[in-house]
Structure 1
Amino acid sequence: MKTLFIALSLIILLFPASYNESQAATDSRAVYEKTGNVIWEVNTQEKIVAITFDDGPHPDYTPQILDLLAKYNAKATFFVAGNKVKSYPDVLKREIKEGHEIANHTYTHPYDRNITAHKLSSELDDTDKIIWDLARYKPSLYRPVGGFHNDTIINTAVNKGFKVVLWSWHQDPKDWARPPANKISNHIIKSLRPGDIILLHDWSDRPQTVRALETTLAYLYKNGYECVTVSELLYRSNLTLPEFFRVFPLK
Structure 2
Amino acid sequence: MKKRLKPIFIVFISIFLIIIGIISWIGIKNSRFSKHNFVFMDIRGSYTQVITEGTREEKVIALTFDDGPHPEFTPQILDLLKEYEAKATFFILGKQAKLYPDLVKREVEEGHELGNHTFSHIDVKKASKEKIREEFQKTQDTIYLITGIKPKVFRPPYGFYNEKTIDVANENGCKIILWSRNQDSKDWSSPGVDKIVNTVITKTENGDIILLHDYIEGNSHTVDALKVILPHLKNKGYRFVTVSELLDLSSTY
Fold-level similarity (TM above 0.5): yes
Change (3 A) 1:168 1:136: same
Change (3 A) 1:35 1:206: farther
Is 1:134 equivalent to 2:146 in the alignment? Answer: yes
Identify the match of residue 191 of structure 2 among 174, 179, 185: 179
Change (3 A) 1:157 1:57: same
> Match for residue 91 of structure 2?
79
For 1:64 and 1:30, how far apart are their aligned partners in 2?
34
Q: String of CA shifts for 1:22-48, please: whole Å, max 9, x gaps.
A: xxxxxx974329945320112322000
> Match for residue 158 of structure 2?
146
Change (3 A) 1:168 1:59: same
Q: How far is 1:158 from its partner?
A: 1.2
TM-score relative to the length of structure 2: 0.80
Please tell me whether the aligned partners of residues 115 and 153 of structure 1 are also in contact (alpha carbons under 8 angstroms): no
Root-mean-square deviation (CA, aligned residues, Å) is 1.8
TM-score relative to the length of structure 1: 0.81
Is 1:192 equivalent to 2:200 in the alignment? Answer: no
> Match for residue 115 of structure 1?
127
SS at 2:39's partner residue?
A: helix
The residue correspondences of 1:28-47 to structure 2 (distance < 5 A) are 30-32=38-40, 35-47=47-59
The residue correspondences of 1:13-28 to structure 2 (distance < 5 A) are none
The residue correspondences of 1:49-60 to structure 2 (distance < 5 A) are 49-60=61-72
> Match for residue 237 of structure 2?
224
SS at 1:193's partner residue?
A: coil
Please tell me whether the aligned partners of residues 50 and 229 of structure 1 are also in contact (alpha carbons under 8 angstroms): yes
For 1:217 and 1:175, how far apart are their aligned partners in 2?
16
In the alignment, residue 208 of structure 2 is paired with which amino acid? D
For 1:233 and 1:82, how far apart are their aligned partners in 2?
24
Count of residue pairs the alignment pairs up: 213
Q: How far is 1:160 from its partner?
A: 1.8
Please tell me whether the aligned partners of residues 60 and 206 of structure 2 are also in contact (alpha carbons under 8 angstroms): yes
SS at 1:53's partner residue?
A: strand
Is 1:238 equivalent to 2:251 in the alignment? Answer: yes
For 2:198 and 2:147, how far apart are their aligned partners in 1?
36
Please tell me whether the aligned partners of residues 37 and 158 of structure 1 are also in contact (alpha carbons under 8 angstroms): no
- Gaps in structure 2 of 5+ consecutive residues: 1-35
SS at 1:149's partner residue?
A: coil
> Match for residue 93 of structure 1?
105
Q: How far is 1:149 from its partner?
A: 1.0
SS at 2:103's partner residue?
A: helix
For 1:69 and 1:206, how far apart are their aligned partners in 2?
21
Further displaced range: 204-213 or 93-102: 204-213
SS at 2:97's partner residue?
A: helix
Change (3 A) 1:192 1:29: closer
